[in-house]
Amino acid sequence: MELLLMKKSSSISTIFTKKIIQMNNVSTSYDSKNYALKGINLSIDKGTNYAIVGKSGSGKSTLLKLMNGMMSPSEGTIKIEYQTPKMNDKNFKVLMHKIGYIPQSLGLIKNISVLENVLIGALPRLGKIQSMFKIFPEKEIQEAKNILKLVGLSGKEERKAYMLSGGEKRRVAIARALMQKPTILLADEIVSELDQATAREIMELISDAQKRMNLTAIMVHHDIRLALEYSNRVAVIQEGEKILEIGIEGDKIMDFETGGLTNQEILEMYSDESKK
Amino acid sequence: MNQKNNLIVGIIIGLVVVASYNVDANPIEFVEGLPNLAIVAEEMTQVDAELFGTAFWSMFETIQMAFIGTIVGVAIALPLSMFAARNLNSKFVYGPVRAILAAIRTFPSILWAILFVIMVGLGPFAGVLAIIMYTVGFVAKLQYESIETIDADPMDAVSSIGVSKWQLIRYVVIPESAPHLLSQMLYMFDYNVRQTSILGLVGAGGIGFYIINYIKFFEYGKAAVFMLVVLITVLIIDWISVKIRDKYIIKSQHGMEVTTT
């Protein structure tokens, strides 16, 4: 269990017991027989650093898209802050702004500057005329600069996004999400393609921001070790089903649902891929 | 090359011969006509240098017509292309808009010019209107096609922030398709200068008016002056647009990829 000793003693406060995300028996299907996700139950407390681990094609990215309303389940119910996520719903759009979503591809706009990419996170707070003529209030520009400083990109505000390195691009995507002043942060495998050192820097940055802003962070990972190291709770998804959920308190591992597998077995299952 | 390919090539050659017979395209007549070309070419060398002043002024008029036509045409085409893009609208919006654009493209600019000469009378204004129509039809098509090919990832990422559709267009669609738009504007301006040069044929102003008149009166030497000016102008515009392309388009499309490690 030396893995768990590596974990930083995080000080999640247990007073936040509000369930910010609840999924009941959620399934999504391509057609009547093939399911991307099958009967997923999830309940995430406010302020948790939650990790979802699974192999490619296990349905873990779909889970995030269900949470921000980009996809709808074919069965079951989802509640995000007691609302059902639905992209074209006017009421949900307000909540959507409070959900920072970083896709695996990051989705930066390559021809514009770092600062402008970050300011996009503030767009729903802008009026029609202001956004049409790109007139950002001084307050927002200052905020964007502060966030860029936080993610370690000060001095690079005017660079075009395509000129950045992989690690820097991730920092910009995180900054854009933080610019939304989110309560929930969803990140889809954003460190998988990075080398170990850079991946850790990015993970540190997110857990730092998560604690400082009391965010609920939900991160999808390929590597279970990284998930155990930085998260309070880890769910393992295999072929569309949740086969395991473990919580970490201090140095102790707490099983919630093991599905008959031991922790060691789970770790071994994913160790091949995490050695990369 | 296998038997099947030989057969296909044979059929194509056969079709060209049959079609040529049908339209009276006779290579012998072409060879017999060559001496006539020599006469024209010889007369063309008798350039009337006094006409260069007039030629440059009429070229300047042509360029201005093409410039107005391109800018106004693009300004109209841009919003239309947003409505015609399949990834931004429902089919009830893009369907009719595409139909209108296709109808506009059906007419070549010379037919638009005839129509506008009837409407607003002889002169450059009819030519400008014709160029606008032609530009709208073409740029809107090129532009909605380039909008449809922009990366879905930034669109998804930014729409998940909860922005409005107009903000999505302003901050994702326009910047992502801007290099294409600039490229299309340059191409269109280049094309419009050449187009405007012949719109004079139907009385819609520009340098073409002089060219057609001198040719009608067999004054090839005088026409040659004007044609030479068109050639020089097109070469200069081509050179400038290559410079602009290198500076703004090539660079942003092949953005320097810096690797992490």
- In chain A, the N- to C-terminal Cα span, in Å, equals 21
Burial class (CB in 10 A: 0-12, 13-18, 19+), B252: middle
CA distances from B245 to A179, B73, B181 (A): 35, 20, 11
Exposure letters A150-159 (e unless 16+ CB within 10 A, then b)? bbebeebbeb
What is the predicted pLDDT for the residue at B241? Answer: 86
CA distance A108 to chain B (A): 6
* CA atoms lying within 13 Å on the CB side of residue B154: 26
- pTM listed for this prediction: 0.77
Tokens of B250: 């090539």
Minimal Cβ distance to A121: which of B161, B176, B255: B161
What is the predicted pLDDT for the residue at B206? Answer: 83
Positions in chain B whose pLDDT score sits under 70:
1, 249-261
Minimal Cβ distance to A166: which of B166, B175, B260: B260
CATH superfamily to which B47-249 belongs? MetI-like (1.10.3720.10)
Q: Which helix (H) or strand (E) holds A89?
A: none
User: Is the Cβ pair B161, A120 closer than 8 Å?
Assistant: yes
Q: What digits encode the pLDDT tens for the residues B172-222? A: 999 888 888 888 898 899 899 988 888 887 888 788 888 888 888 888 888
Phi, psi of A72 (to 5 degrees): -120, 145
Q: Which helix (H) or strand (E) holds B213?
A: helix B208-216
What is the predicted pLDDT for the residue at A127? Answer: 85
Q: Per-domain residue ranges for chain B?
A: 47-249
Residues 6 or more apart whose Cβ sits within 8 Å of residue B257: A162
What is the predicted pLDDT for the residue at A29? Answer: 83
CA distance A69 to chain B (A): 8
What is the predicted pLDDT for the residue at B198? Answer: 82
* A1-11+47-70+83-98+182-276 is a CATH 3.40.50.300 domain: yes
d(CA B81, CA B79): 5
Closest CA to A151 of A192, A188, A102: A102
What is the predicted pLDDT for the residue at A255? Answer: 64
User: Is the Cβ pair B157, A106 closer than 8 Å?
Assistant: yes
Contact A101, A189 (CB under 8 A): no
**What single string gives the DSSP state of each residue in B232-247?**
HHHHHHHHHHHHHIII
Give the bridge partners for A51, in sequence order. Answer: A219, A234
Q: Per-domain residue ranges for chain A?
A: 1-11+47-70+83-98+182-276, 110-181
**Which chain B residues touch A93 with a CB distance below 8 Å?**
162
d(CA A224, CA A275): 11
- Amino acid identity, residue A160? K
Interface of A with B (CB under 8 A): 68-70, 87, 93-97, 99, 101-103, 105-112, 116, 120-121, 123-124, 126, 128, 131-132, 134, 160, 162-167, 173, 176, 180, 193-195, 198
Give me the tens of pLDDT residue by residue for chain A, a chain 276 residues long: 344 433 333 444 444 467 889 999 999 887 767 778 888 998 898 888 999 998 888 888 889 999 988 888 988 999 988 888 887 778 888 888 999 999 999 999 988 899 999 999 999 998 888 888 888 999 999 999 999 999 999 889 999 998 899 999 999 999 999 999 999 999 999 998 888 899 999 999 999 999 988 899 999 998 888 888 888 888 988 888 888 888 776 666 666 665 555 666 666 666 554 444
What is the predicted pLDDT for the residue at B135? Answer: 95
